[in-house]
Structure 1
């Protein structure tokens, strides 16, 4: 997948203009975000990449003055957002506990002091909002009896278990490397000097999420959570977890989650969306043989066509057209879905899923396929000024009658010079449309033949191809009879080589992309499109640490024209801005996405989970 980097700010004048804008936006953001679940405001990219001017051509110039482009505004907002987060960092145990009580409405769990020391000893940036995902996932379990949670967990087929400080795995006879990696992740808490009570963690071993509970049930559970939430006085607190000896001696009857495998997936998933959300009211698609439902204008909820709210842009509940534009909903590789609510841990999920998120196992491995190895790329100026992407055309079961609806196929087509040239000349593409020129004010769109076309411009910066077309049913070949006319097969490229390019798009496959953490830690610039939530979402700021892209990919041309420009028409890009985002993203990832940070997250998560599984949970806690 391609990686995108961010440039440094240009002249002193540009810095002053942006600084003034940041101060203005800061006041607005402070008021608008106070007391509200944080949603990341993310713009997209529009105009002007860099140009190496030739003697016979006029020197390239920016298409807009500093601060005038929508992306400039979104970057300004992101700067303010990160400052706001950093100002909330806790440096003492007392400060961390105070912030916990203010944000969670409870006393911290027993062991909170050990957790804080563990985090401090590992040089962590401790911001309470970084752990919001834990409470989004666990809060509905306050509406489930602790005894029921324990009994459902201990009989599940795939588990990571903690007993007396030792971590083991219970699973079937199939070799499951992810289970071993999660076992090691939990064990790292003890190895780093931490501590955990006895507990059982049911694990989802599939790529796809498996649990969608009706939103009405979740909301009823949340109402119980809110009704029982209080700051328990210190003299009423209990500080010791109960063990699981009784269940170990006499296990309860096996719990049947009632997983079901019948699709399509969208009708199963949509019940998890809030009542009244667009997805609950939309028409359910069943015919995927036609081109995807795309509009030539701006994507919904965008800021002049660019992502301004990352949470909203990723949400299938708010963007029901995704049911016909993403393999997860068109035809996933496998379905094993349950509506029964029980603790189940996994590496990623959709907004409507109810798993408890862990850092993904592939983020814990040293396999260079996911990390790129020890190197993370050279200096920005040494990189190819191009977009690179290599991967299989995964995302589900793409067939002759539905392949045009799959996200990776669509992205590859949209940045393929030949397919775009054909679209420019009136040939209707099978799986995408071009945005209108007015939508993004693209200077490269509809240029005269003397200066090239949109397709000619794309050819100067796009190196995107699949290495395997993933036909269903498969024929053992990377090629595919029904898509051979549209896609060439390229050789695979190690991530370490992809880091030699400036821009790295990251597109969902069968679920989330396991390369994202590696991209963030590189010296290239990630461009991210996804419908999946991960553990780290609340600690990354779009437009500050990565470039967000809409799941329609309609903003890709505006993004690349903004960053790379178009030398043929004398349009300069914002290479310095790309470098700045890339470098700040890497520096931030090296602070908050380390393996140590994953251990710290798991430590905190499992203290909270163990409390929920304890019969004394309402009075179980820690206080000074």
Structure 2
């Protein structure tokens, strides 16, 4: 029987049915995707110079996902693979006891990606240029230290930070060789070796990178005499000069390259005025006004204006710095400091005031769609003549609706902050009426009349203590009382009821950051300070980076929370996804167990650096089988 010239009724209806089914499936999947990453092209006022209305943060989030996937794809699952990854990245054999370190890491369920320990090698590499005996002597003679002999750690210091670090080391002391650890008891880091000197040390260190024949490798650490029983075979040390210059910028910038803006720029000495703030669109760590390179954003060498925007550069609480390369361990540092990083004491101690653990699991849908910040006016010693240059004062001021309204209307210039750059095209800056006739600078919009109201509806940001200085610390503050109204402190657990948690450096790093990451809220991190865990986190995947000037803050707020008055939806789904990814990842790589694994590897490497046989030392068990 011949085929019919026309399809049967069944076939005629089958094709449309399949098309409808496929369309329904795509729509339901797209809806599910939107619930995760938010609408792809919402009705926002932002528009790229190329005409696209896709928000630049969309691209940064996508790039972060790809970067993170690439990072974890390099995780190793065997001792042999871990050793091979080490040799490829470090150019040496792993240190003695690498097999014991690996087994310890596996017992702790640690994720092993070689890049996770990059900070260790950044910190220790210059010391390969110094004589081991001199490093040992410098550590032994430092003001505060922990001593390890015969797998027992001890200290003669009762300083609370030292006691916490001691407690941490005692959990791994059975795996540690003999050594002395010099500890920094201050908030501020101690070492700023001139850039030129560090380059010389690194050239010398590079010469020690050899892959010794496995048959000649020394696989055991040496022993040290008991404290006080050392011989005096070490050469006389050069004189160590400790500097106490209160204007820390003069010390810090020597760690930058000679041709860097920080070294070449004029030094600011007048801080009793509104500081000059660079545009977020003119900085090389930014892209379309947002941080595209977080590591670079923490390096101030290309950001000379930060000398008048960060308390540490203006007047720290205390300064005791040297240009000598000494083996001093501490909890945080700037990009130019040469201190050796340990996990900060408050991270190991896990105090409730820093972690807010009680409220860390509040469901996202139960949170307020707002940003909250509570803190003390730290950053250094703020005075009547310099407080405008302190970062926390700037952040609180620019989130004060009254001050913002005065500045936006032209009634009073900003005291210490900049209005949002016009390139952000914020919906929150659009007037509800006709365009304002008031003039504005090229860095601000023509009409900012709705911005203060929007800010009041989306932020709750205030000081809890002004920490003012006169001849000493007084509870009152006559020079900032007119601008800031302190509020009672709020437990971190209560702050977790808000979706966005901006995090701003104080005297040094912010001790709340780990608690923020472990919560179900979204950390928005502005930092110059570097910590032990930085290479484990991916910006825009686990947290939202913010420029140290905070010029991108309003844009970040509008992207995630939207602007209801202007009919602009927020990317609530994107915010939730980053918050939950950060929480999940922190639960895998920022645990106390991960601190143990990090410190064990750090100290095995340090013990090799201070050993006279270091260039022949290593672990080669995989190569001798």
Give me the whole-angstrom Cα distance separating, in 1, the residues matched to 2:32 and 2:618.
Answer: 48
Q: Distance in 2 between the 1:132 and 1:486 partners?
A: 43
CA contact (8 A) 2:177 2:604 kept: yes
Q: Give the equivalent residue in structure 2 for 1:360.
A: 344
Note the 1:431-442 alignment, pairs <5 A. Answer: 431-437=416-422, 439-442=423-426
Identify if the C-alpha distance between structure 1 residues 238 and 518 changes in structure 2 by more than 3 Å, giving closer, same or farther.
same
Deviation for aligned residue 1:12: 3.5
For 1:304 and 1:62, how far apart are their aligned partners in 2? 15
1:181 equivalent in alignment to 2:164: yes
Secondary structure of 1:228's match? coil
Taking a change above 3 Å as real, the CA distance of residues 474 and 13 of structure 1, as seen in their structure-2 partners, is farther
Task: Kindly state the Cα deviation for residue 163 of structure 1 after the two structures are TM-superposed.
Answer: 1.0
Match of 1:203 among 159, 183, 186: 183
Please state how far the C-alpha of 1:61 moved relative to its aligned partner: 4.5
Kept in 2: contact 1:48–1:566 (CA 8 A): no
| 1:250 equivalent in alignment to 2:230 | yes
Superposed CA offset, 1:536-574 (max 9, x none): 010000000000000010000000010001111211010
User: For residues 578-589 of structure 1, what are the structure 2 equivalents within 5 Å?
Assistant: 578-589=575-586
Q: 1:18 to 1:148 in 2, by over 3 A?
A: farther
Is this contact kept in 2: 1:62–1:573, CA < 8 A? Answer: no
Provide the residue aligned with 1:75 in structure 2: 61
Between the aligned partners of 1:557 and 1:457, the Cα distance in structure 2 is 10
- Map Cα deviations across residues 42-91 of structure 1 (whole Å, 9 max, x no partner): xxxxx9999xxxxxxxxx95557999210000011100110011110010
TM-score norm. by structure 1 comes to: 0.88
Question: How far is 1:276 from its partner?
Answer: 2.0
SS of equivalent residue, structure 1 residue 317: helix
Deviations 1:2-45 (A, max 9, x none): xxxxxxxx9734888999xx9xxxxxxxxxxxxxxxxxxxxxxx
Contact (CA 8 Å) 2:45, 2:426: kept in 1 or not? no
Asked whether the equivalents of residues 49 and 563 of structure 1 are also in contact (C-alpha less than 8 Å), the reply is no
> Are the aligned partners of 2:34 and 2:573 in contact in 1 as well (CA < 8 Å)?
no
Does structure 2 retain, via aligned residues, the 8 Å contact 1:48–1:562?
Answer: no
Per the alignment, residue 560 of structure 2 pairs with 563
Q: Note closer, same or farther for the CA distance 1:14–1:69 as it changes in structure 2 (3 Å cut).
A: farther
Which residue is 2:442 aligned to? none
> How far did residue 155 of structure 1 move?
1.4
CA contact (8 A) 2:370 2:500 kept: yes
Q: Which runs of 4+ in 1 moved over 4 A?
A: 14-19, 47-50, 60-67, 251-256, 449-452, 474-478
Say if 2:74 is the partner of 1:88: yes
- Structure 2 equivalent of residue 448 of structure 1: 432
Q: Given the alignment of the two structures, is residue 409 of structure 1 paired with residue 393 of structure 2, yes or no?
A: yes
The structure 2 residue matched to 1:321, chosen from 305, 312, 329, is 305
Match of 2:522 among 522, 525, 531: 525
State the partner residue of 2:609. 612
Q: What residue number does 1:307 align with?
A: 291
Equivalent residues of 2:189, 2:339 under 8 A apart: yes
8 Å CA contact 1:48–1:62 kept in 2: the answer is: no
The separation in 2 between residues aligned to 1:251 and 1:457, in whole angstroms, is 69
Mapped contact 1:529–1:550 kept (Cα < 8 A): yes
Equivalents in 2 of 1:371, 1:246: separation in Å?
A: 39
The yes-or-no answer on 1:457 pairing with 2:441 is: no
Query: CA offset at residue 258 of structure 1?
Result: 2.6
On the 8 A contact 2:222/2:611 being kept in 1, the answer is yes
2:146 aligns with one of 160, 170, 187: 160
Give 1:217 shift.
Answer: 1.2
Judged with a 3 Å threshold, the aligned counterparts in structure 2 of structure 1 residues 442 and 62 are, in CA distance, closer, same or farther, namely: closer
Q: Is the 8 A contact 2:46 2:424 kept in 1?
A: no
Q: Considering only aligned residues, what root-mean-square deviation do their CA atoms show, in Å?
A: 2.5
Contact 1:452 1:568 in 2 (8 A): no
Higher relative contact order (CA 8 A, sep 6+): 1
CA pair 17-484 structure 1, distance change in 2 beyond 3 A? closer
Contact persistence 2:280–2:290 (CA under 8 A): no
Report the counterpart of residue 12 of structure 1 in structure 2: 29
Shift in CA distance, 48/418, structure 1 to aligned 2, threshold 3 Å? farther
C-alpha deviation, 1:429, in angstroms: 1.4
Which residue number corresponds to residue 140 of structure 1?
126
Distance 1:414 1:18, change over 3 A: same
Q: Distance in 2 between matches of 1:492 and 1:11?
A: 45
Greater shift after overlay, 236-245 or 547-556?
Answer: 236-245
- Deviation of 1:237 after TM superposition, in Å, equals 0.2
Find the residue that maps to 2:198 and give its secondary structure.
helix
Deviation at 1:257, TM superposition (A): 3.7
Equivalent residue number for residue 260 of structure 2: 277
Deviating more after overlay: 476-485 vs 242-251: 242-251
> What SS does structure 2 have at the residue aligned with 1:338?
coil
| Structure 1, unpaired ranges of 5+ | 1-9, 23-46, 51-59
Aligned residue pair count: 573
1:463 alignment partner, SS class:
strand
Q: CA deviation at 1:160?
A: 1.3
Q: Residue 233 of structure 1: CA displacement? A: 1.3
Pairing of 1:19-168 with structure 2 (within 5 A): 61=43, 68-168=54-154
SS at match of 1:503: strand
Counterpart of 1:57 in structure 2 is: none
Give the Å deviation of 1:433: 1.6
* Distance in 2 of aligned mates of 1:17 and 1:583: 16
Q: Where in structure 2 are the equivalents of 1:367-378 lying within 5 Å?
A: 367-378=351-362
What stretches of structure 2 of length at least 5 have no aligned partner? 1-26, 435-447
1:567–1:189 distance in 2 versus 1, CA, 3 Å? same
